[in-house]
Structure 1
Amino acid sequence: MTRSFLALRHIAIASSLLFGLVSQHARAAESGTITIMVGGITKLIYLPARLTEQLGYFKDEGLDVELLSQPAGVDAENELLAGAVQAVVGFYDHTIDLQTKGKEVKAIVVFGQVPGEVEMVSTKAAETVKSMADVKGKTLGVTGLGSSTSFLTQYLAGQHGIQSTEYTMLPVGADASFIAAIKQGRIDVGMTTEPTVSALQKSGDGKVLVDMRSVEGTKAALGGTYPASSLYVQAAWADAHKAEAAKLAHAFVRTMQFIHTHSAEEIAAKMPDDYQKDKPLYVSALKASLPMYTSDGKMPADGPTTVLKVLSAFNPSVKGKHIDLAKTYTNEFVAAK
């Protein structure tokens, strides 16, 4: 009886805390604050989120925006569906996956025309792993199981006829935890982004195996552009808050234009110091990342079909399902002004 009572009490406390979190953000939304959850705010693939805030573009639009961070896009997606946040800066592919689950979510600004992801091989394993054709029997690191990195990893291996049962996928997160996994030998190969890529190259612990930071590299790996980092919202929120959605889109488009008209050094100078503890490394990583960004926030014409092709191959939720790609994104708001 006592154990049952305590168990129920713990459940009640946990539920209360979750309810409190959602309620807190709901109250913030009512007061006019737009809360955006970022799937790893220090990642350069999501640079436009913090840069827009730093440049003052949200305030220029009369918006009160709060940026929060979760280490993985899957967690950010759950916050959106729970109503705890109004928008997510994460991978576009979540909108396709969610449609199969009866959730209508759409990208309203596209930041990355390519994933910005890099498949890294540890220096220790580099002698035996020369390409993704050599990953059989290896341990492959991803940010999380069921994440965008896991589907991309499976697709790249599958291109060489290697099934997902022939290697181990290990969730190791990003940034410091990814670097630790490489250094400790817990993974042989792993998918990550800048500035982690440059940090591993600088320390000599990792080498580039597949580079999807540029359009050319992404087309070679995936067969087309692969829109990734984006701002996505629930379709119902966009329909009910068209003015706010347009202002958000306009603020971000200004940022994309800033990125395309300024050097890596000039962009880095606008970012907080704690994002670039090693400034030369940060600038170098940013230079390598600049080709990934769109200039206008619009969806690349061939992008959605490439993403659907990848997800249909390895995402059990998407495989064999009919997807209405027109409902997964819109250029309406980026073209509003």
Structure 2
Amino acid sequence: MRHTFRKLRQIALCASVLSVGLAQHAYAGDDGKLSIMVGGATKIIYLPAKLTEQLGYFKDEGLDVEILSQPAGVDAENELLAGAVQAVVGFYDHTIDLQSKGKQVKAIVVFGQVPGEAEVVATKAADSIKSMADVKGKTLGVTGLGSSTSFLTQYLAERNGVHADQFTMLPVGADASFIAAIRQGRIDTGMTTEPTISALEKAGDAKVLVDMRTLAGTKAALGGTYPAASLYVQSAWADTHKAQAAKLAHAFVKTMQFIHTHSAEEVAAKMPTDYQKDRTLYVNALRASMPMFTADGKMPADGPQTVLKVLSAFSPSVKGKHIDLTKTYTDEFVEAK
């Protein structure tokens, strides 16, 4: 009997601790401290995250923001769903994919109107792979399985008549690990971003197969504007933290305006030196990437429909599902005065 009573007390104590923990978790970030997970902080497509911190715009809004980094967007997404962070800088397409799985997440600032990515082919495989129609039986590199690079890889292959079971996707991360995978011959082609693309081209290790760094290239590959890099949060958090969401959005909009009113050299000068292993290459890659950034953080009008079309073409979780696109993004916070 005494043993049973002791057991009950232990259960009650655990329940008490759990309830306190849940209460603290529910109000994480309410004291002005916010954690933002980036799906690869050194990628130029996600440059606004670190640049906003470097420019002091978070502090100007009275926010204490911590920028964290994961190599792949899917890892950042998982951190958000677990409640470990309040926001993610990643691709907008995750909001649609998650809604199809019953989870409500929305983009509150859009950074990129195009993916800013390219499918590159290893130089040693370039003679046999001239387009995505040639990837049957090949190994294609992505940052992570379930990441936006895997979404786009599957779509580009499917659009060229190659089904997902006819090639292998290998998660190889980004930056140095992606470059190593190309050099070691572990992947034949792969999807990556700047400055990795420029580094591979400069070294002669790879060539661009499909270029989605420009609006023209993106429309050719995907059929329309493809909003990509964005700041997304759980919808419930946005609904209950409107003041913080507006401050975050305002800080990022100031950054987007800074990008559009300064040169690549001036922007690079504000970024950490360890992001720029080869400064000349970094500045050149940044200069080529500048047009992909939005000037106001708003969602491009035709963007959500293009992304839904892409995901619906290959994703079993999205295909045939009713997706309410109005719940996957909002311009409410970037427009807040």
Do they fold alike, i.e. is TM over 0.5?
yes
Q: Distance between the aligned counterparts of 2:97 and 2:83, measured in 1?
A: 18
C-alpha deviations, 1:272-315, integer Å up to 9, x for none?
11111210011011012112111110000000001001111112
| Conservation of the 8 A alpha-carbon contact between 1:226 and 1:307 | yes
SS at match of 1:334: helix
List gaps (5 residues or longer) in structure 2.
1-20
Q: Distance between the aligned counterparts of 2:314 and 2:173, measured in 1?
A: 20
Q: Distance between the aligned counterparts of 1:142 and 1:22, measured in 2?
A: 35
List gaps (5 residues or longer) in structure 1.
1-20
1:72 is aligned to 72
2:5 is aligned to none
2:3 is aligned to none
| Structure 2 counterpart of 1:207, one-letter code | K
1:189 is aligned to 189
Q: Distance between the aligned counterparts of 1:165 and 1:175, measured in 2?
A: 27
Q: Tell me the matched-pair count.
A: 318
- Quote how far apart the aligned CAs of 1:100 are: 1.5
Q: Distance between the aligned counterparts of 2:130 and 2:244, measured in 1?
A: 48
SS at match of 2:238: helix
| Conservation of the 8 A alpha-carbon contact between 1:25 and 1:35 | no
1:243 is aligned to 243
TM-score normalised to structure 1 length: 0.91
TM-score normalised to structure 2 length: 0.91
1:157-236 aligned at under 5 Å gives the runs 157-236=157-236
C-alpha deviations, 1:163-217, integer Å up to 9, x for none?
1121111111111110000000111100000010010011110101111011110
SS at match of 1:97: helix
| Conservation of the 8 A alpha-carbon contact between 1:25 and 1:85 | no
Q: Distance between the aligned counterparts of 1:315 and 1:22, measured in 2?
A: 34
- Quote how far apart the aligned CAs of 1:25 are: 7.6
- Quote how far apart the aligned CAs of 1:32 are: 2.2
- Quote how far apart the aligned CAs of 1:95 are: 0.6
| Conservation of the 8 A alpha-carbon contact between 1:141 and 1:190 | yes
2:131 is aligned to 131
- Quote how far apart the aligned CAs of 1:156 are: 0.8
Q: What is the aligned-residue RMSD (CA, Å)? A: 1.7
Q: What percentage of residue pairs aligned between the two structures are identical?
A: 81
Q: Distance between the aligned counterparts of 2:308 and 2:22, measured in 1?
A: 32
Q: Distance between the aligned counterparts of 2:117 and 2:316, measured in 1?
A: 22
| Structure 2 counterpart of 1:67, one-letter code | I
1:101 is aligned to 101
SS at match of 1:262: coil
Larger gyration radius, structure 1 or structure 2: 2
Q: Distance between the aligned counterparts of 1:227 and 1:241, measured in 2?
A: 24
- Quote how far apart the aligned CAs of 1:29 are: 2.2
